[in-house]
């Protein structure tokens, strides 16, 4: 039974890591993998603290993702409005890009973040240069957020594997 549990853990961690750049909830898939491993092994090595830690890391990843999008849009000269535009545009772009296999949602999310931040900023400042810079900031923020979430995903995977090997 432990072989199946380890296979589920490793499989869901790998799938989760692949989902993160696509803007999908990969960290939560990884958390589900650790919980599934715990359930399959009667929670012998996955205790309350492991669960609390991986939930905390996943929640931290979501907070950082949203914070980086806003921060970079503002750092590049945009207002808070451009941060909201980046968030909404990224979600819409990812959804629209879904029909294009695998990479469509990634490209759509980046383009959507740029367009959303630029449009929301332009509606506020009425200056194309400021709106364009805010759009680029949103793209940089999205890339930084994806990199940070992948790093946190590796931490979650390491915690899960450490618990499995304990």
> In this predicted model, what pLDDT tens digit does every residue of 90-109 receive, in sequence order?
888 878 877 776 677 778 88
In the block, tokens 């999908």 appear at: 24
On whether the CB atoms of residues 27 and 16 are closer than 8 A, the answer is: yes
The helix/strand/coil state of 45 is: coil
Structure tokens at 70: 């806003």
Per-residue confidence band for 58, with pLDDT thresholds at 50, 70 and 90: very high
The pTM score is 0.79
Please say if the pLDDT value at position 142 is more than 90.
Answer: no
Q: Where is average pLDDT lowest: 40-54, 122-136, 148-162?
A: 122-136
In the block, tokens 């296999």 appear at: 101
- Determine the pLDDT at residue 153: 95
88 or 70, which is more confident? 88
- Determine the pLDDT at residue 93: 85
């Amino acid at each position: 039974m432990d072989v199946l549990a380890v296979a589920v853990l490793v499989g869901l961690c790998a799938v989760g890591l692949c989902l993160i750049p696509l803007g999908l909830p990969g960290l939560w898939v990884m958390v589900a993998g650790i919980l599934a491993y715990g359930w399959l092994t009667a929670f012998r090595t996955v205790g309350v603290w492991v669960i609390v830690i991986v939930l905390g890391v996943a929640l931290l990843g979501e907070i950082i993702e949203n914070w980086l999008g806003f921060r970079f849009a503002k750092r590049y000269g945009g207002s808070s409005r451009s941060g909201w535009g980046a968030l909404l545009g990224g979600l819409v772009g990812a959804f629209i890009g879904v029909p294009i296999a695998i990479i469509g949602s990634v490209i759509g999310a980046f383009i959507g973040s740029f367009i959303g931040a630029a449009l929301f900023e332009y509606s506020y400042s009425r200056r194309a240069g400021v709106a364009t810079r805010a759009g680029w900031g949103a793209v940089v923020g999205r890339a930084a957020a994806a990199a940070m979430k992948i790093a946190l995903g590796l931490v979650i995977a390491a915690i899960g594997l450490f618990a499995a090997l304990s």
